Structure 1
Amino acid sequence: MTRIFSSMPDPIIALEDVTLKLRGNAGPVEILHGLTMQVHKGETLGLVGPSGSGKSSLLMVMGGLEAATSGQVRVLGQDLTRMDEDRMARFRRDHMGVVFQSFNLIPTMTALENVATPLELAGAPDAFDRARAELDRVGLASRSDHYPAQMSGGEQQRVALARASAPRPQILLADEPTGNLDGSTGQAIMDLLFGLRDDHGATLVLVTHSRQLADRCDRVVRLTDGRIDDALARAAE
Protein backbone atom coordinates (compact mmCIF):
# COMPACT_ATOMS: atom_id res chain seq x y z
CA MET A 1 0.00 0.00 0.00
CA THR A 2 1.27 3.46 -0.90
CA ARG A 3 0.37 6.38 1.35
CA ILE A 4 0.72 10.04 0.46
CA PHE A 5 -0.43 12.81 2.78
CA SER A 6 0.45 16.49 2.85
CA SER A 7 0.77 18.56 6.01
CA MET A 8 -2.18 20.79 5.10
CA PRO A 9 -5.41 20.58 7.13
CA ASP A 10 -8.96 19.82 6.02
CA PRO A 11 -8.80 16.97 3.47
CA ILE A 12 -11.46 17.50 0.83
CA ILE A 13 -10.65 14.26 -1.03
CA ALA A 14 -9.42 11.15 0.80
CA LEU A 15 -8.57 7.80 -0.77
CA GLU A 16 -7.94 4.74 1.39
CA ASP A 17 -6.35 1.62 -0.13
CA VAL A 18 -8.05 2.22 -3.50
CA THR A 19 -7.67 -0.28 -6.31
CA LEU A 20 -9.12 -0.13 -9.80
CA LYS A 21 -9.45 -3.13 -12.10
CA LEU A 22 -10.81 -2.81 -15.62
CA ARG A 23 -11.65 -5.60 -18.02
CA GLY A 24 -9.40 -5.77 -21.07
CA ASN A 25 -9.28 -8.11 -24.05
CA ALA A 26 -7.04 -10.49 -22.12
CA GLY A 27 -9.03 -10.28 -18.89
CA PRO A 28 -9.01 -7.97 -15.85
CA VAL A 29 -6.21 -5.42 -15.69
CA GLU A 30 -5.30 -3.75 -12.39
CA ILE A 31 -4.89 -0.03 -13.09
CA LEU A 32 -4.47 1.35 -9.55
CA HIS A 33 -2.77 -0.58 -6.74
CA GLY A 34 -3.88 0.23 -3.18
CA LEU A 35 -3.51 4.02 -3.24
CA THR A 36 -4.00 6.01 -0.05
CA MET A 37 -3.74 9.78 -0.30
CA GLN A 38 -5.43 13.08 0.54
CA VAL A 39 -6.13 16.33 -1.24
CA HIS A 40 -6.79 19.36 0.91
CA LYS A 41 -9.17 22.28 0.68
CA GLY A 42 -7.80 25.05 -1.52
CA GLU A 43 -4.84 22.95 -2.66
CA THR A 44 -3.69 22.59 -6.26
CA LEU A 45 -2.45 19.04 -6.87
CA GLY A 46 -0.71 17.92 -10.04
CA LEU A 47 -0.77 14.27 -11.10
CA VAL A 48 2.19 13.41 -13.33
CA GLY A 49 3.84 10.31 -14.74
CA PRO A 50 4.33 8.42 -17.99
CA SER A 51 1.46 7.47 -20.28
CA GLY A 52 -0.42 4.49 -18.89
CA SER A 53 0.66 5.15 -15.30
CA GLY A 54 -2.93 5.56 -14.05
CA LYS A 55 -3.09 9.37 -13.75
CA SER A 56 -6.36 9.84 -15.62
CA SER A 57 -7.88 6.78 -13.97
CA LEU A 58 -7.03 8.20 -10.55
CA LEU A 59 -8.65 11.51 -11.50
CA MET A 60 -11.78 9.69 -12.70
CA VAL A 61 -11.97 7.75 -9.42
CA MET A 62 -11.71 11.01 -7.47
CA GLY A 63 -14.60 12.41 -9.50
CA GLY A 64 -16.78 9.33 -9.26
CA LEU A 65 -16.60 8.89 -13.04
CA GLU A 66 -14.95 5.51 -12.49
CA ALA A 67 -15.95 3.31 -9.57
CA ALA A 68 -13.10 2.00 -7.42
CA THR A 69 -12.91 -1.79 -7.37
CA SER A 70 -12.03 -1.76 -3.67
CA GLY A 71 -11.09 0.69 -0.96
CA GLN A 72 -12.81 3.93 0.00
CA VAL A 73 -13.12 7.26 -1.79
CA ARG A 74 -14.40 10.12 0.36
CA VAL A 75 -15.11 13.55 -1.11
CA LEU A 76 -16.41 16.39 1.07
CA GLY A 77 -17.02 13.79 3.76
CA GLN A 78 -19.21 11.61 1.52
CA ASP A 79 -18.30 8.04 0.63
CA LEU A 80 -18.51 7.84 -3.18
CA THR A 81 -18.17 4.06 -3.10
CA ARG A 82 -21.61 3.81 -1.49
CA MET A 83 -23.40 6.01 -4.04
CA ASP A 84 -25.45 4.69 -6.95
CA GLU A 85 -25.06 6.34 -10.37
CA ASP A 86 -27.94 8.80 -9.94
CA ARG A 87 -26.80 10.01 -6.54
CA MET A 88 -23.21 10.24 -7.78
CA ALA A 89 -24.30 12.33 -10.79
CA ARG A 90 -26.18 14.74 -8.53
CA PHE A 91 -23.23 14.98 -6.14
CA ARG A 92 -20.83 15.71 -8.99
CA ARG A 93 -23.24 18.28 -10.46
CA ASP A 94 -23.47 20.12 -7.14
CA HIS A 95 -19.82 20.03 -6.06
CA MET A 96 -17.45 19.32 -8.97
CA GLY A 97 -16.39 20.72 -12.30
CA VAL A 98 -14.58 18.47 -14.78
CA VAL A 99 -12.44 19.57 -17.74
CA PHE A 100 -11.43 16.93 -20.29
CA GLN A 101 -8.56 16.94 -22.79
CA SER A 102 -11.06 16.22 -25.58
CA PHE A 103 -13.34 19.08 -24.42
CA ASN A 104 -16.52 16.88 -24.39
CA LEU A 105 -18.75 19.71 -25.58
CA ILE A 106 -22.19 18.82 -26.94
CA PRO A 107 -21.80 19.36 -30.70
CA THR A 108 -25.44 20.27 -31.32
CA MET A 109 -25.40 23.06 -28.70
CA THR A 110 -23.92 26.53 -28.96
CA ALA A 111 -21.18 27.67 -26.61
CA LEU A 112 -23.80 29.47 -24.53
CA GLU A 113 -26.03 26.41 -24.34
CA ASN A 114 -23.08 24.16 -23.40
CA VAL A 115 -22.16 26.43 -20.49
CA ALA A 116 -25.77 26.92 -19.39
CA THR A 117 -26.64 23.20 -19.36
CA PRO A 118 -25.17 22.26 -15.93
CA LEU A 119 -26.69 25.40 -14.44
CA GLU A 120 -30.11 24.48 -15.84
CA LEU A 121 -29.75 20.94 -14.50
CA ALA A 122 -29.00 22.42 -11.08
CA GLY A 123 -32.19 24.50 -11.30
CA ALA A 124 -30.53 27.91 -11.60
CA PRO A 125 -33.18 30.43 -12.73
CA ASP A 126 -30.53 32.69 -14.26
CA ALA A 127 -28.63 29.93 -16.06
CA PHE A 128 -28.19 31.79 -19.35
CA ASP A 129 -27.22 35.09 -17.73
CA ARG A 130 -24.56 33.30 -15.68
CA ALA A 131 -23.40 31.38 -18.75
CA ARG A 132 -22.99 34.62 -20.72
CA ALA A 133 -21.00 36.15 -17.86
CA GLU A 134 -18.74 33.10 -17.67
CA LEU A 135 -18.10 33.13 -21.43
CA ASP A 136 -17.21 36.79 -21.14
CA ARG A 137 -14.72 35.98 -18.36
CA VAL A 138 -12.89 33.53 -20.65
CA GLY A 139 -12.96 36.00 -23.56
CA LEU A 140 -15.65 34.32 -25.66
CA ALA A 141 -18.62 36.66 -25.38
CA SER A 142 -18.56 37.15 -29.15
CA ARG A 143 -18.62 33.38 -29.78
CA SER A 144 -21.59 32.49 -27.60
CA ASP A 145 -23.80 31.57 -30.57
CA HIS A 146 -21.16 29.42 -32.27
CA TYR A 147 -21.17 25.63 -32.27
CA PRO A 148 -18.07 23.62 -31.24
CA ALA A 149 -17.25 22.74 -34.87
CA GLN A 150 -17.07 26.47 -35.63
CA MET A 151 -14.44 27.11 -32.94
CA SER A 152 -10.73 26.40 -32.62
CA GLY A 153 -9.38 23.89 -30.10
CA GLY A 154 -8.37 26.69 -27.74
CA GLU A 155 -11.81 28.25 -27.95
CA GLN A 156 -13.49 24.90 -27.27
CA GLN A 157 -11.28 24.39 -24.22
CA ARG A 158 -12.22 27.85 -22.94
CA VAL A 159 -15.89 26.91 -23.33
CA ALA A 160 -15.19 23.70 -21.40
CA LEU A 161 -13.52 25.73 -18.63
CA ALA A 162 -16.46 28.13 -18.52
CA ARG A 163 -18.88 25.19 -18.29
CA ALA A 164 -16.91 23.58 -15.47
CA SER A 165 -16.54 26.79 -13.43
CA ALA A 166 -19.97 28.38 -13.98
CA PRO A 167 -21.68 26.40 -11.16
CA ARG A 168 -18.90 27.53 -8.77
CA PRO A 169 -17.77 24.00 -7.84
CA GLN A 170 -15.76 23.33 -4.72
CA ILE A 171 -13.53 20.96 -6.69
CA LEU A 172 -12.15 21.36 -10.23
CA LEU A 173 -10.75 18.25 -11.93
CA ALA A 174 -8.80 18.74 -15.17
CA ASP A 175 -7.47 15.91 -17.35
CA GLU A 176 -4.62 17.14 -19.59
CA PRO A 177 -6.35 20.52 -20.12
CA THR A 178 -3.57 21.73 -22.45
CA GLY A 179 -2.74 18.39 -24.07
CA ASN A 180 -4.39 19.10 -27.44
CA LEU A 181 -3.30 22.73 -27.71
CA ASP A 182 -0.27 24.55 -29.09
CA GLY A 183 2.17 26.27 -26.75
CA SER A 184 0.73 29.80 -26.71
CA THR A 185 -2.87 28.59 -26.52
CA GLY A 186 -1.94 26.15 -23.78
CA GLN A 187 -0.34 28.95 -21.79
CA ALA A 188 -3.53 31.00 -22.08
CA ILE A 189 -5.59 28.03 -20.86
CA MET A 190 -3.20 27.54 -17.90
CA ASP A 191 -3.64 31.17 -16.91
CA LEU A 192 -7.42 30.89 -17.17
CA LEU A 193 -7.50 27.66 -15.16
CA PHE A 194 -5.49 29.06 -12.28
CA GLY A 195 -7.39 32.34 -12.48
CA LEU A 196 -10.69 30.51 -12.08
CA ARG A 197 -9.22 28.62 -9.12
CA ASP A 198 -8.09 31.85 -7.49
CA ASP A 199 -11.35 33.69 -8.17
CA HIS A 200 -13.61 30.94 -6.86
CA GLY A 201 -11.40 29.36 -4.19
CA ALA A 202 -11.81 25.88 -5.65
CA THR A 203 -9.57 22.91 -4.94
CA LEU A 204 -7.85 21.97 -8.21
CA VAL A 205 -6.58 18.52 -9.21
CA LEU A 206 -5.06 18.19 -12.65
CA VAL A 207 -3.38 15.55 -14.78
CA THR A 208 -0.59 16.85 -16.95
CA HIS A 209 2.52 15.98 -18.92
CA SER A 210 3.49 19.66 -18.92
CA ARG A 211 6.38 20.48 -16.59
CA GLN A 212 5.38 24.14 -16.77
CA LEU A 213 1.84 23.38 -15.61
CA ALA A 214 3.04 21.01 -12.87
CA ASP A 215 5.44 23.67 -11.59
CA ARG A 216 2.47 25.95 -10.87
CA CYS A 217 0.88 23.39 -8.53
CA ASP A 218 1.24 23.44 -4.74
CA ARG A 219 2.08 19.73 -4.72
CA VAL A 220 2.91 17.09 -7.31
CA VAL A 221 2.24 13.34 -7.07
CA ARG A 222 4.01 11.09 -9.56
CA LEU A 223 2.47 7.78 -10.62
CA THR A 224 4.20 4.78 -12.21
CA ASP A 225 2.33 1.59 -13.09
CA GLY A 226 -0.64 2.55 -10.91
CA ARG A 227 1.47 3.25 -7.85
CA ILE A 228 2.62 6.51 -6.28
CA ASP A 229 6.33 7.07 -6.88
CA ASP A 230 6.85 10.15 -4.79
CA ALA A 231 5.30 13.48 -3.83
CA LEU A 232 6.91 16.85 -4.22
CA ALA A 233 5.40 19.44 -1.90
CA ARG A 234 6.15 23.01 -2.85
CA ALA A 235 4.93 26.31 -1.57
CA ALA A 236 3.11 28.16 -4.31
CA GLU A 237 5.13 31.08 -5.59
Structure 2
Amino acid sequence: MPRNSVSTTGAVQPVIDINDVTLTLGASSGEVNILRGISLQVNPGEAVSVVGPSGSGKTSMLMVIAGLEAASGGRVNVCGEDLRRMSEDKLALFRRDNVGIVFQGFHLIPTMTALENVAIPLELSGRRNAFEAAAASLEAVGLGHRLGHYPGQLSGGEQQRVALARAFGIRPRLLLADEPTGNLDGKTGQQIIDLMFGLTAEHDTTLLLITHDPALAERCGRSVHMADGQLVDSVENPVEPAAAL
Protein backbone atom coordinates (compact mmCIF):
# COMPACT_ATOMS: atom_id res chain seq x y z
CA MET A 1 0.00 0.00 0.00
CA PRO A 2 1.37 3.48 -0.83
CA ARG A 3 2.97 5.35 2.06
CA ASN A 4 0.54 8.25 1.69
CA SER A 5 -2.68 6.54 0.70
CA VAL A 6 -5.40 8.64 -0.91
CA SER A 7 -9.07 7.76 -0.66
CA THR A 8 -11.51 7.83 -3.56
CA THR A 9 -12.59 11.31 -2.41
CA GLY A 10 -9.03 12.61 -2.80
CA ALA A 11 -8.38 12.95 0.93
CA VAL A 12 -5.26 11.50 2.51
CA GLN A 13 -6.15 8.46 4.63
CA PRO A 14 -4.97 8.49 8.24
CA VAL A 15 -2.27 6.00 9.17
CA ILE A 16 -4.07 5.49 12.49
CA ASP A 17 -7.86 5.66 12.47
CA ILE A 18 -9.45 4.26 15.61
CA ASN A 19 -12.98 5.07 16.71
CA ASP A 20 -14.84 4.32 19.94
CA VAL A 21 -12.33 1.61 20.85
CA THR A 22 -12.94 -0.29 24.06
CA LEU A 23 -10.80 -2.88 25.81
CA THR A 24 -12.23 -4.96 28.63
CA LEU A 25 -10.12 -7.61 30.34
CA GLY A 26 -11.12 -10.24 32.85
CA ALA A 27 -9.69 -10.26 36.36
CA SER A 28 -10.29 -12.27 39.54
CA SER A 29 -12.43 -9.44 40.85
CA GLY A 30 -14.43 -9.15 37.63
CA GLU A 31 -14.09 -7.34 34.30
CA VAL A 32 -11.82 -4.29 34.09
CA ASN A 33 -12.48 -1.55 31.54
CA ILE A 34 -9.02 -0.56 30.28
CA LEU A 35 -10.03 1.59 27.29
CA ARG A 36 -13.36 3.42 27.37
CA GLY A 37 -14.26 4.63 23.89
CA ILE A 38 -10.95 5.89 22.45
CA SER A 39 -11.05 7.76 19.13
CA LEU A 40 -7.88 9.02 17.43
CA GLN A 41 -6.69 9.84 13.93
CA VAL A 42 -3.04 10.31 13.01
CA ASN A 43 -2.15 11.41 9.48
CA PRO A 44 0.83 10.30 7.37
CA GLY A 45 4.10 11.83 8.55
CA GLU A 46 2.57 13.21 11.73
CA ALA A 47 4.27 12.84 15.14
CA VAL A 48 1.86 12.49 18.07
CA SER A 49 2.79 12.05 21.72
CA VAL A 50 0.55 10.33 24.26
CA VAL A 51 0.85 11.53 27.84
CA GLY A 52 -0.99 10.76 31.05
CA PRO A 53 -0.57 9.11 34.45
CA SER A 54 0.49 5.51 34.87
CA GLY A 55 -2.47 3.18 34.45
CA SER A 56 -4.37 5.57 32.19
CA GLY A 57 -4.32 3.12 29.26
CA LYS A 58 -1.51 4.54 27.11
CA THR A 59 0.34 1.28 26.54
CA SER A 60 -2.92 -0.64 26.10
CA MET A 61 -3.93 1.75 23.30
CA LEU A 62 -0.54 1.26 21.65
CA MET A 63 -0.89 -2.52 21.89
CA VAL A 64 -4.32 -2.35 20.22
CA ILE A 65 -2.93 -0.16 17.43
CA ALA A 66 -0.07 -2.63 16.94
CA GLY A 67 -2.50 -5.55 16.74
CA LEU A 68 -0.88 -7.12 19.80
CA GLU A 69 -4.07 -6.77 21.85
CA ALA A 70 -7.54 -7.34 20.41
CA ALA A 71 -9.99 -4.50 21.04
CA SER A 72 -13.27 -5.47 22.66
CA GLY A 73 -15.20 -3.02 20.49
CA GLY A 74 -14.89 -0.13 18.06
CA ARG A 75 -12.97 0.39 14.81
CA VAL A 76 -9.22 -0.19 14.54
CA ASN A 77 -7.88 0.81 11.12
CA VAL A 78 -4.10 1.09 10.77
CA CYS A 79 -2.27 1.78 7.50
CA GLY A 80 -5.59 1.35 5.70
CA GLU A 81 -6.26 -2.13 7.14
CA ASP A 82 -9.05 -3.25 9.49
CA LEU A 83 -7.10 -5.03 12.22
CA ARG A 84 -10.19 -6.47 13.87
CA ARG A 85 -10.86 -8.61 10.78
CA MET A 86 -7.37 -10.13 10.73
CA SER A 87 -6.24 -13.49 12.07
CA GLU A 88 -3.15 -13.68 14.30
CA ASP A 89 -1.07 -14.83 11.33
CA LYS A 90 -2.24 -11.92 9.17
CA LEU A 91 -1.60 -9.48 12.01
CA ALA A 92 1.97 -10.76 12.30
CA LEU A 93 2.50 -10.24 8.57
CA PHE A 94 0.92 -6.80 8.77
CA ARG A 95 3.30 -5.72 11.56
CA ARG A 96 6.26 -7.20 9.72
CA ASP A 97 5.56 -5.08 6.65
CA ASN A 98 4.23 -1.83 8.15
CA VAL A 99 4.97 -1.23 11.83
CA GLY A 100 8.16 -0.66 13.80
CA ILE A 101 7.95 -0.89 17.59
CA VAL A 102 10.42 0.39 20.18
CA PHE A 103 9.80 -0.36 23.85
CA GLN A 104 11.36 0.88 27.08
CA GLY A 105 13.00 -2.54 27.38
CA PHE A 106 15.17 -3.27 24.37
CA HIS A 107 13.75 -6.75 23.60
CA LEU A 108 16.88 -7.94 21.82
CA ILE A 109 17.67 -11.65 21.52
CA PRO A 110 20.69 -12.09 23.84
CA THR A 111 22.21 -15.00 21.89
CA MET A 112 22.25 -13.06 18.61
CA THR A 113 24.66 -10.34 17.53
CA ALA A 114 23.49 -6.82 16.77
CA LEU A 115 23.61 -7.66 13.07
CA GLU A 116 21.55 -10.82 13.54
CA ASN A 117 18.97 -9.04 15.71
CA VAL A 118 18.34 -6.54 12.92
CA ALA A 119 18.63 -9.01 10.03
CA ILE A 120 16.25 -11.73 11.26
CA PRO A 121 13.04 -9.67 10.76
CA LEU A 122 14.27 -8.71 7.30
CA GLU A 123 14.93 -12.34 6.44
CA LEU A 124 11.46 -13.28 7.64
CA SER A 125 10.01 -10.61 5.33
CA GLY A 126 11.74 -12.23 2.36
CA ARG A 127 14.59 -9.73 1.88
CA ARG A 128 17.33 -11.55 -0.01
CA ASN A 129 19.92 -8.96 1.05
CA ALA A 130 18.79 -9.02 4.69
CA PHE A 131 22.26 -8.90 6.26
CA GLU A 132 23.47 -6.14 3.93
CA ALA A 133 20.35 -4.09 4.72
CA ALA A 134 20.78 -4.77 8.45
CA ALA A 135 24.38 -3.59 8.33
CA ALA A 136 23.29 -0.39 6.58
CA SER A 137 20.57 0.17 9.18
CA LEU A 138 23.07 -0.26 12.02
CA GLU A 139 25.47 2.08 10.27
CA ALA A 140 22.67 4.67 10.13
CA VAL A 141 22.35 4.59 13.93
CA GLY A 142 26.10 4.83 14.48
CA LEU A 143 26.79 1.16 15.21
CA GLY A 144 28.61 0.09 12.07
CA HIS A 145 31.56 -0.87 14.29
CA ARG A 146 29.44 -3.06 16.60
CA LEU A 147 27.86 -5.53 14.16
CA GLY A 148 29.35 -8.62 15.78
CA HIS A 149 28.67 -7.64 19.39
CA TYR A 150 26.01 -9.33 21.51
CA PRO A 151 23.48 -7.31 23.55
CA GLY A 152 25.34 -8.11 26.77
CA GLN A 153 28.43 -6.46 25.30
CA LEU A 154 26.57 -3.23 24.50
CA SER A 155 25.59 -0.30 26.70
CA GLY A 156 21.92 0.53 27.24
CA GLY A 157 22.09 3.33 24.69
CA GLU A 158 23.71 1.04 22.14
CA GLN A 159 21.07 -1.62 22.72
CA GLN A 160 18.32 0.93 22.08
CA ARG A 161 20.12 1.99 18.90
CA VAL A 162 20.01 -1.65 17.78
CA ALA A 163 16.28 -1.66 18.56
CA LEU A 164 15.85 1.47 16.45
CA ALA A 165 17.86 -0.07 13.61
CA ARG A 166 15.62 -3.15 13.78
CA ALA A 167 12.45 -1.03 13.80
CA PHE A 168 13.55 1.07 10.82
CA GLY A 169 15.06 -1.83 8.88
CA ILE A 170 11.69 -2.53 7.25
CA ARG A 171 11.17 1.18 6.43
CA PRO A 172 7.94 1.20 8.48
CA ARG A 173 5.00 3.41 7.68
CA LEU A 174 4.31 3.67 11.42
CA LEU A 175 6.66 3.73 14.42
CA LEU A 176 5.18 2.99 17.84
CA ALA A 177 7.48 4.03 20.70
CA ASP A 178 6.64 3.29 24.34
CA GLU A 179 8.88 5.25 26.73
CA PRO A 180 11.96 4.59 24.53
CA THR A 181 14.31 6.43 26.92
CA GLY A 182 12.87 5.09 30.17
CA ASN A 183 15.90 2.90 30.91
CA LEU A 184 18.53 5.43 29.84
CA ASP A 185 20.33 8.33 31.49
CA GLY A 186 19.45 11.85 30.40
CA LYS A 187 22.31 12.44 27.95
CA THR A 188 21.99 9.02 26.30
CA GLY A 189 18.21 9.36 26.16
CA GLN A 190 18.53 12.71 24.39
CA GLN A 191 20.82 11.16 21.79
CA ILE A 192 18.32 8.34 21.18
CA ILE A 193 15.44 10.79 20.82
CA ASP A 194 17.37 13.00 18.37
CA LEU A 195 18.18 9.88 16.37
CA MET A 196 14.59 8.65 16.42
CA PHE A 197 13.16 11.97 15.23
CA GLY A 198 15.83 12.22 12.56
CA LEU A 199 14.99 8.74 11.24
CA THR A 200 11.23 9.38 11.22
CA ALA A 201 11.80 12.58 9.24
CA GLU A 202 14.22 10.89 6.83
CA HIS A 203 11.86 8.01 6.08
CA ASP A 204 8.59 9.99 6.30
CA THR A 205 7.45 7.65 9.07
CA THR A 206 4.39 8.40 11.18
CA LEU A 207 5.19 8.39 14.91
CA LEU A 208 3.06 7.61 17.96
CA LEU A 209 5.15 8.18 21.09
CA ILE A 210 4.23 7.40 24.70
CA THR A 211 6.18 9.47 27.20
CA HIS A 212 6.08 10.92 30.71
CA ASP A 213 8.54 13.66 29.71
CA PRO A 214 6.71 16.97 28.92
CA ALA A 215 9.68 18.35 26.96
CA LEU A 216 9.81 15.22 24.80
CA ALA A 217 6.04 15.28 24.28
CA GLU A 218 6.30 18.84 23.00
CA ARG A 219 8.75 17.77 20.28
CA CYS A 220 5.79 16.11 18.56
CA GLY A 221 3.41 18.19 16.51
CA ARG A 222 0.49 17.15 18.70
CA SER A 223 0.06 15.81 22.21
CA VAL A 224 -2.98 13.82 23.35
CA HIS A 225 -3.70 13.35 27.04
CA MET A 226 -5.15 10.16 28.50
CA ALA A 227 -6.85 9.59 31.85
CA ASP A 228 -8.90 6.64 33.07
CA GLY A 229 -8.89 4.92 29.69
CA GLN A 230 -10.07 7.94 27.75
CA LEU A 231 -8.53 10.68 25.62
CA VAL A 232 -9.34 13.88 27.45
CA ASP A 233 -7.40 16.56 25.57
CA SER A 234 -5.41 17.26 22.40
CA VAL A 235 -2.86 20.08 22.08
CA GLU A 236 -1.00 21.33 19.02
CA ASN A 237 2.69 21.96 19.72
CA PRO A 238 4.97 24.44 17.97
CA VAL A 239 7.88 22.25 16.89
CA GLU A 240 11.40 22.89 15.65
CA PRO A 241 12.62 21.13 12.49
CA ALA A 242 13.78 17.56 13.14
CA ALA A 243 17.36 17.25 14.28
CA ALA A 244 19.78 16.15 11.59
CA LEU A 245 21.37 12.73 11.91
TM-score, scaled relative to structure 1: 0.94
| 2:62 counterpart of 1:49 | no
- 1:103 equivalent in structure 2: 106
Aligned with residue 28 of structure 2, among 25, 33, 38: 25
- 1:183 equivalent in structure 2: 186
Secondary structure at 1:180 match in 2? coil
Aligned with residue 84 of structure 1, among 83, 87, 91: 87
- Asked if the contact 2:114/2:150 (under 8 Å) is kept, the reply is yes
Q: In the aligned structure 1, how far is the partner of 2:224 from the partner of 2:206?
A: 15
How much does 1:175 deviate?
A: 0.6
Q: In the aligned structure 2, how far is the partner of 1:24 from the partner of 1:150?
A: 40
Please show how residues 140-151 of structure 1 align to structure 2 within 5 Å: 140-151=143-154
| 2:169 counterpart of 1:166 | yes
Q: In the aligned structure 1, how far is the partner of 2:52 from the partner of 2:139?
A: 34
Q: In the aligned structure 1, how far is the partner of 2:25 from the partner of 2:232?
A: 22
Question: How well do the aligned residues superpose, as a CA RMSD in angstroms?
Answer: 1.2
The superposition leaves residues 148-204 of structure 1 with CA deviations (integer Å, 9 ceiling, x where unpaired) of 111111111000000000110111111100111100000000001001101100001
Q: In the aligned structure 1, how far is the partner of 2:218 from the partner of 2:75?
A: 29
Amino acid across the alignment from 2:142? G
- Asked if the contact 2:79/2:173 (under 8 Å) is kept, the reply is no
- 1:4 equivalent in structure 2: none
How much does 1:235 deviate?
A: 4.1
Please show how residues 103-142 of structure 1 align to structure 2 within 5 Å: 103-142=106-145
Decide which moves more: 155-164 or 24-33.
24-33
How much does 1:121 deviate?
A: 0.6
How much does 1:10 deviate?
A: 3.1
Percent identity reads 59
Aligned with residue 17 of structure 2, among 1, 14, 17: 14
How much does 1:147 deviate?
A: 1.0
- Asked if the contact 2:21/2:36 (under 8 Å) is kept, the reply is yes
> Which consecutive unaligned segments of at least 5 residues does structure 1 have?
1-7
- 1:5 equivalent in structure 2: none
| 2:212 counterpart of 1:209 | yes
Secondary structure at 2:41 match in 1? strand
Amino acid across the alignment from 1:191? D
How much does 1:79 deviate?
A: 0.5
How much does 1:144 deviate?
A: 1.1
- 1:226 equivalent in structure 2: 229
The superposition leaves residues 33-64 of structure 1 with CA deviations (integer Å, 9 ceiling, x where unpaired) of 01111111110010000111111111111111
How much does 1:66 deviate?
A: 0.9
Amino acid across the alignment from 1:23? G
| 2:42 counterpart of 1:39 | yes
Secondary structure at 1:162 match in 2? helix
> Which consecutive unaligned segments of at least 5 residues does structure 2 have?
1-10, 241-245
Q: In the aligned structure 2, how far is the partner of 1:71 from the partner of 1:37?
A: 12
Aligned with residue 192 of structure 1, among 173, 190, 195: 195
Secondary structure at 2:126 match in 1? coil
Secondary structure at 1:124 match in 2? coil
Q: In the aligned structure 2, how far is the partner of 1:200 from the partner of 1:42?
A: 9
Q: Report the count of equivalent residues.
A: 230
Amino acid across the alignment from 2:133? R
Secondary structure at 2:71 match in 1? coil
